[in-house]
Amino acid sequence: MVDWIVFVAGTLIALSGAIGVVTLRNPVHAALSLVLTLFGVAVLFVAQAAHFLAVVQVIVYAGAVVVLFLFVIMLLGVDRDEANIGVEPLRAQRPAAAVIGVAAAGLLLALSRVSFTTGAPSTAGAADGPGTNVEKIADSVFTRYVYAFEITSVLLVIAVVGAVLLARKPKPLTDEVAA
């Protein structure tokens, strides 16, 4: 019974936040709705015994990523309502989006009722059994997936360097100086 209450609460939080991201006109409000969704997904992670990922989700996503979004919104100065949200530059874009959305929802919901598993045993280790969730993830990350783990550190360095290069102030002669 408690499981159902947690599931319904997490689902309501996540889906209402998602609808807020899509419908709210102010980008700041959309970013705050995104926090709601990320928190709801974290609740659903806890409901499935993924405690480590729930904590990381709240810290990294709801903390760092959304703050980064808000930072860029404020930097670009777009923290007010979009005036032209009703304008439709492409003809029939909205009906097409609605049709595609309904089709995709139907397809995904149908797929979620079917299972294609082979029944083969897991190679990364069991998710239940003795030990905490953190220990089991650490066992897997630092043994079986250790090369992938090292490569992600390279990826992060590349991303940092790329972001610095991209966000540098442009040379004055290329365009009008923005700032």
Residue 41 as a binder of other proteins (CB under 8 A): the answer is yes
How many residues in the shown chain lie near other proteins by CB under 8 A? 95
Answer yes or no: are the C-beta atoms of 20 and 36 closer than 8 Å: yes
Contacts of 132 (CB under 8 A, 6+ apart): 51
Judge contact between 16 and 36, C-beta under 8 A: yes
- Cβ at position 91, least distance to other proteins in Å: 14
Residue 167 binding other proteins, by CB under 8 A: yes
Output 91 or 119, the one with its CB closest to other proteins.
Answer: 119
| Contact between 62 and other proteins per CB under 8 A | no
Answer for the pair 178, 170: CB distance below 8 angstroms, yes or no: yes
72 binds other proteins (CB under 8 A): yes
CA angle at 45 for the pair 62 and 152, rounded to the nearest 5°: 65
- Interacting residue with other proteins among 80, 93, 146, 150 (CB under 8 A): 93
User: Please, which of residues 126-165 interact with other proteins by CB under 8 A?
Assistant: 126-128, 133, 136-137, 139-141, 145, 148-149, 152, 155-156, 158-160, 162-163, 165
Give the chain's length. Answer: 179
